[in-house]
Structure 1
Amino acid sequence: MRFLLALLVVLSFTSCKAQDKVLIDDNKPNNISINTQPKLVVGIVVDQMRYDYITRFYAKYGEGGFKRLINDGFNCKNNHYNYVPTYTGPGHASVYTGTTPKYHGIIANNWYNKFTKETVYCAGDKSVTAVGSDTNRERMSPHRMKTTTFADENRLFTQMKGKTIGISIKDRGAILPAGHSANAAYWFRGKTEGNFITSTYYMSNLPKWVKDFNTSNTAESYIKVWNTLYDISTYTESGTDLNAFEAGFKGKETAVFPYDLAALKDNNAGFDIIKATPYGNSIVTDFAIAAIDGEQLGQDFITDVLAVSFSSTDYIGHNFGVNSKEIQDTYLRLDKDLERLFKALDTKVGAGEYTVFLTSDHGAVEVPAYLKSNKIPSGYFDRKGFRKKLDSFMFKTFKASNLIENISNSQIFLNKENLASSNIKIEEVQKALVKELINYKDIDKVYASSTFQEADFTKGVEMLLQNGYNQKRSGDIILVNDPAVISYPKTGSTHGSSLNYDTHVPLLFYGKGVKKGSTYLRTEITDIAPTISALLGISFPNGATGGVLDFVID
């Protein structure tokens, strides 16, 4: 008995000492980091980059660009857009907000505003004016985007001490990623100017470093001959240089190398010709490196964000098509520009001190005429014939005129006032249109808007359409074309569909806080912003619907 009592005393004393030790340990400074804080996050969006541009051209890439991200970072090989339409404005907004047009509201590049009865531009803002140009056209801001970006959340988290700079050839490629609270967004004004500009949404005068860049004659230096980077005979991953599927430039009879930009400039909107060559990506790289210095990005331990969009890939894809020698040369040159950017980051911010992600805003379809020549189903949508047939049906069925107000972005907007004055119920018209239009050539699916308000789809094209449908901004009837059927000229490529050639895009992570590896698990474009937010330990963008890719974070 005495032994048991003694044992209980010893155990009690040991337990108390153990508890004391835990309490003492808990009161020690906790040096465990709960988030990764790179000095700089660099978000890279390559406009119109299909996933297979990584694999098709891989053997021709150097070691310091795409391959550096792939081999030393994390490659999400099955990454997709989870909505349609797959356009530039919605794509850039979705990458940085972590949600879809259903919530962030950027439903297209341009869309019909059914309240003001006008077509609006995703970055257009009449309340501001251009800075750095006298033009009245560059009146831009992010005010139409309804939700925050992870860059906004980083600004809030750091008490506005962490900077955000957006850069692109395209205004929307700079403005939407940078978010509402950005220090600046800069885009390229071509025409007779050849300068990077901004708007009064951000500032009243350009900083000295931007003015210095604009007066450095950098744009002029790219008005030169565009020839292939390597011997064109080695470009075996693309089609023949001379073919019937490419548009080319005004003033040149054939779309073949080389292209003398000085000779072509005046017939192709002046400095705008740079946008449609790989040199557009090069000048964006030049400007991004200048911004790192000019804004002192990544020079302290408060995280900054640099959003860079390479848009020349899109202009070239639209012009020449995804199977062209021009596209291959553009990506081989972009690879060199990426290497140059990464080396500058190593030097100026520090190797291992920054985090990068690279993705795209959409893919692109092979030129349908080329597909058809290879017996693959494809075609071109006859918009004029469609509208004429539709108007005839509407008048014959409802005995009234002007019941359709607008057709754009594969959506039909009904004229509510005329329907009401004719005592026609909108539900009746929607039902009739769905039944009629499904029979039209090149139309694959037709839905009434009520379908996406009354049901919850979790797979298939219906889910993608629902994620792209915004109740306040979208139309009354949603149309889906047959695969590889586009509304576009018969040369060059375009995008916008729910097919894999448009939705499957790269997603590469690299740098501080990122594991090395790859996955074939499906990831979605809306996962990027929550993943970067988790890595930084900040709030998710306020409308984010994507998930954290925890297998990417180290």
Structure 2
Amino acid sequence: MKKTLLFAGLCCLCSLTFAQKKTKNSTTPAASPATLDRPKLVVGLVVDQMRWDYLYRYYDRYTNGGFKRMINEGFSAENTLIPYTPTYTAVGHSSIYTGSVPAITGIIGNDWYDPQTRKGVYCTDDSTVTSVGSSGIAGKMSPRNLKSSTITDELRLATNFRGKVIGISLKDRGSILPAGHTPTGAYWYDGQTGDWITSTWYMNQLPAWVQNFNSQKLANKYYEQDWNTLYPVNSYVQSTTDNQVYEGITRGEQTPTFPHPLKGYAGKNYDMIRSTPYGNTITLKLAEEAIKAEGLGKDNITDFLAVSCSSTDYVGHQYGPNSIEAEDTYLRLDKDIEEFFNYLDRTVGKGNYLVFLSADHGAAHVPGFMQENKMPGGTVDNKAIVTGLNTYLESRFKIKKPVLVAMNNQIIFDHYNKEMKDVDFAAMKTATIDYLRTYDGIANAVDLSRIAESTLPAVQKEMITNGYNARLSGDVYFILQPNYFDGGKTGTTHGAWNPYDAHIPCVFMGWNVKHGKTNKTYHMTDIAPTIAAMLHIQMPSGNIGVPITELTHQ
């Protein structure tokens, strides 16, 4: 009897133990959220020509709600670099939103020469479309030249085109390329009329809300205010004094100094607003109107607003990075961004939107400023390079004008020149490289078809390779000495591989973003795949970047 009871007890114990193990190891899934967790709105904020160091150079003067809010609430990838050359506006915007490089996207510059069609190409030109909202040619633009999808395209695909996408920028390329191929709308500024326009690629008539915005002619309102400094001019200690020979002078002014009179432009020259901080103000006001009118962020289907602030670029080109004008422009932009974020908080809701801040490129210090402070820097003249090179090659190979043009740091030969068939082209390229290496301001030159065989430093080799498009690029690439560029004696430009052009801000804030930073090296091309990972959507079709794991794994 005892044995029977003992046996029965052991059976019960084994059954209980088995049941406990089965429950513990069960593969039955836990309860899942009813819907996929995504932000209501993604905002891409690209500040044209914003060097990374501007985040901190003017930090003490920023408000708590603009750039400083992003730094102190968001996540910053502090060492984000552009992985290609040339570092120009169209290339930067396309690479941020495609996660790709010119070798793949086909956007190899703002302009380029197509050796197959033998024509110059502007990045967003499209003769097959017509302007909407304008009777001129400013609207004959589209993303047709962009050969990769964008993160905005992928959001449209992921939501079966229910998620809305809007692109806004003073520059056509700053609106069109980020908005992608399938947006709800893309709008840019027509300096001839002072109106925001689009093209028939997107629609046949401007929405009423854009027409109403245009009717305000806000440029006139800001022209009436002139442009003076926000604070006493002697308090701009992060800038040079306000009258330098290497600053550009606006037509009608005697010196490049504050205050800059604008009243005379009202109703006459709407394009001038680009070169003042007010161009950014109007851009962000249109962005607010888009949120309101299109109902962005009002439901659980994620929308995307791509905004590019371009006036920083115009101001930088004219006055340079160390000017009071540049500092004042960033201080004013900071206030505009604070107001924009406050608007997002009120309408979409804090924590419901994801915003990232970046730049399409940086900028070099003005050579005159560098020389004044005993640092290296200077300019070259692309036309002079072509003239000198043609003279040299004509004397050596007995052929007239073998070089068509120097642009985007590339030498482009005239392959349709009948005399070229009798020339040893490899020898001509070698002679070209030898000539360029002796040219003042040029550090090195390389055959673009043989980059891998060159002795360039790895970073230069990789950036040139990423910028080389086999169908569109030229024949020989030349690298300028640090802080040299093709330009005049005033203002600045960009385009080089160097950190002042290639080191850009990359800050995320808002939905599912915890405060933090990383000094690990990331690239501009990592922004799109990071957003894709956070939203659980496909990366763009030409993507080569990787997610910023310190952000996505928080």
TM-score, scaled to structure 2? 0.95
Residue identity matched to 2:240 = G
Residue identity matched to 2:312 = T
Name the structure 2 match of 1:526.
525
Name the structure 1 match of 2:160.
159
Deviation (angstroms), 1:426: 2.6
Aligned equivalents of 1:456 and 1:92: distance in 2?
30
Specify whether residues 395 and 535 from structure 1 end up closer, same or farther in structure 2 by C-alpha distance, changes over 3 A only. same
Aligned equivalents of 2:252 and 2:10: distance in 1?
99
- Matched residue SS, 1:405: strand
Aligned equivalents of 1:7 and 1:417: distance in 2?
94
Deviation (angstroms), 1:4: 9.8
Measured against aligned partners, the alpha-carbon deviations of 1:33-92 in whole angstroms (never above 9, x if no partner) come to: 8x6400000000000001111111000000010011110011121111111111000000
Residue identity matched to 1:203 = M
Residue identity matched to 2:32 = N
Deviation (angstroms), 1:425: 3.5
- Matched residue SS, 2:550: coil
Name the structure 2 match of 1:301.
300
Specify whether residues 218 and 178 from structure 1 end up closer, same or farther in structure 2 by C-alpha distance, changes over 3 A only. same
Task: Please tell me whether residue 15 in structure 1 is matched to residue 41 in structure 2.
Answer: no
- Matched residue SS, 1:552: helix
Name the structure 1 match of 2:450.
451
Deviation (angstroms), 1:423: 2.2
Deviation (angstroms), 1:341: 0.6
Deviates more, 1:418-427 or 1:126-135: 418-427
- Matched residue SS, 2:157: helix
Name the structure 1 match of 2:124.
123
Deviation (angstroms), 1:355: 0.3
Deviation (angstroms), 1:18: 3.0
Specify whether residues 148 and 21 from structure 1 end up closer, same or farther in structure 2 by C-alpha distance, changes over 3 A only. same
Alignment check: 8 A CA contact 1:42 1:357 kept:
yes
Aligned equivalents of 1:107 and 1:424: distance in 2?
28
Deviation (angstroms), 1:454: 6.8
- For 1:250-399, what aligned pairs fall within 5 Å after superposition? 250-264=251-265, 270-399=269-398
Specify whether residues 418 and 335 from structure 1 end up closer, same or farther in structure 2 by C-alpha distance, changes over 3 A only. same
Deviation (angstroms), 1:419: 6.3
Aligned equivalents of 1:158 and 1:408: distance in 2?
41
Alignment check: 8 A CA contact 1:36 1:535 kept:
no
Task: Please tell me whether residue 210 in structure 1 is matched to residue 218 in structure 2.
Answer: no
Name the structure 2 match of 1:29.
31
Specify whether residues 407 and 37 from structure 1 end up closer, same or farther in structure 2 by C-alpha distance, changes over 3 A only. same
Alignment check: 8 A CA contact 2:386 2:405 kept:
no
Alignment check: 8 A CA contact 1:378 1:484 kept:
yes
Aligned equivalents of 1:212 and 1:328: distance in 2?
33
Name the structure 2 match of 1:402.
401
Deviation (angstroms), 1:420: 6.9
Name the structure 2 match of 1:174.
175
Aligned equivalents of 1:7 and 1:468: distance in 2?
74
Alignment check: 8 A CA contact 1:457 1:463 kept:
no
Name the structure 2 match of 1:494.
493
- Matched residue SS, 2:28: helix
Deviation (angstroms), 1:95: 0.6
Aligned equivalents of 1:51 and 1:393: distance in 2?
41
How many residue pairs match? The answer is 549
Deviates more, 1:456-465 or 1:118-127: 456-465
Residue identity matched to 1:515 = K
Measured against aligned partners, the alpha-carbon deviations of 1:155-208 in whole angstroms (never above 9, x if no partner) come to: 0000000000000010100000010111111011122x1111111100000001
Aligned equivalents of 1:233 and 1:7: distance in 2?
91
- Matched residue SS, 2:504: coil
- Matched residue SS, 1:196: strand
Deviation (angstroms), 1:352: 0.7
- Matched residue SS, 1:412: strand
Measured against aligned partners, the alpha-carbon deviations of 1:444-474 in whole angstroms (never above 9, x if no partner) come to: 1111111237789993211111111111111
Name the structure 1 match of 2:414.
415
Specify whether residues 20 and 56 from structure 1 end up closer, same or farther in structure 2 by C-alpha distance, changes over 3 A only. closer
Deviates more, 1:232-241 or 1:302-311: 232-241
Deviation (angstroms), 1:543: 0.9
Aligned equivalents of 1:6 and 1:471: distance in 2?
80
Aligned equivalents of 2:420 and 2:366: distance in 1?
45
Point out where structure 1 has 5 or more consecutive residues left out of the alignment: none
- For 1:100-139, what aligned pairs fall within 5 Å after superposition? 100-139=101-140
Aligned equivalents of 1:430 and 1:265: distance in 2?
52
- Matched residue SS, 1:510: strand
CA RMSD in angstroms comes to 2.2
**Identical counterparts, % of pairs:** 43
Alignment check: 8 A CA contact 1:36 1:537 kept:
no
Aligned equivalents of 1:348 and 1:458: distance in 2?
50
Deviation (angstroms), 1:403: 2.0
Deviation (angstroms), 1:396: 1.7
Specify whether residues 407 and 217 from structure 1 end up closer, same or farther in structure 2 by C-alpha distance, changes over 3 A only. closer
Deviation (angstroms), 1:552: 1.4
Residue identity matched to 1:15 = F
Measured against aligned partners, the alpha-carbon deviations of 1:259-303 in whole angstroms (never above 9, x if no partner) come to: 12122568xx70111100000000001100000011110000100
Point out where structure 2 has 5 or more consecutive residues left out of the alignment: none
Aligned equivalents of 1:288 and 1:205: distance in 2?
19
Residue identity matched to 2:351 = G
TM-score, scaled to structure 1? 0.95
Alignment check: 8 A CA contact 2:385 2:406 kept:
no
Alignment check: 8 A CA contact 1:36 1:512 kept:
no
Residue identity matched to 2:421 = S
Alignment check: 8 A CA contact 2:223 2:265 kept:
no
Aligned equivalents of 2:375 and 2:428: distance in 1?
35
Specify whether residues 542 and 454 from structure 1 end up closer, same or farther in structure 2 by C-alpha distance, changes over 3 A only. farther
Specify whether residues 24 and 95 from structure 1 end up closer, same or farther in structure 2 by C-alpha distance, changes over 3 A only. closer
Task: Please tell me whether residue 141 in structure 1 is matched to residue 149 in structure 2.
Answer: no
Aligned equivalents of 1:419 and 1:454: distance in 2?
30
Name the structure 2 match of 1:195.
195
The structure 1 segments of at least 4 consecutive aligned residues displaced by more than 6 Å after TM superposition are 1-6, 453-458
- Matched residue SS, 1:222: helix
Residue identity matched to 1:322 = P
- Matched residue SS, 1:260: coil
Aligned equivalents of 1:388 and 1:322: distance in 2?
31
- Matched residue SS, 2:519: strand
Residue identity matched to 1:233 = N
Aligned equivalents of 1:63 and 1:422: distance in 2?
65
- Matched residue SS, 1:444: strand
Alignment check: 8 A CA contact 1:47 1:311 kept:
yes
Specify whether residues 394 and 519 from structure 1 end up closer, same or farther in structure 2 by C-alpha distance, changes over 3 A only. same
Residue identity matched to 1:176 = L
Alignment check: 8 A CA contact 1:251 1:264 kept:
no
Residue identity matched to 1:204 = N
Alignment check: 8 A CA contact 1:530 1:547 kept:
yes
Alignment check: 8 A CA contact 2:227 2:259 kept:
yes
Deviation (angstroms), 1:8: 8.0
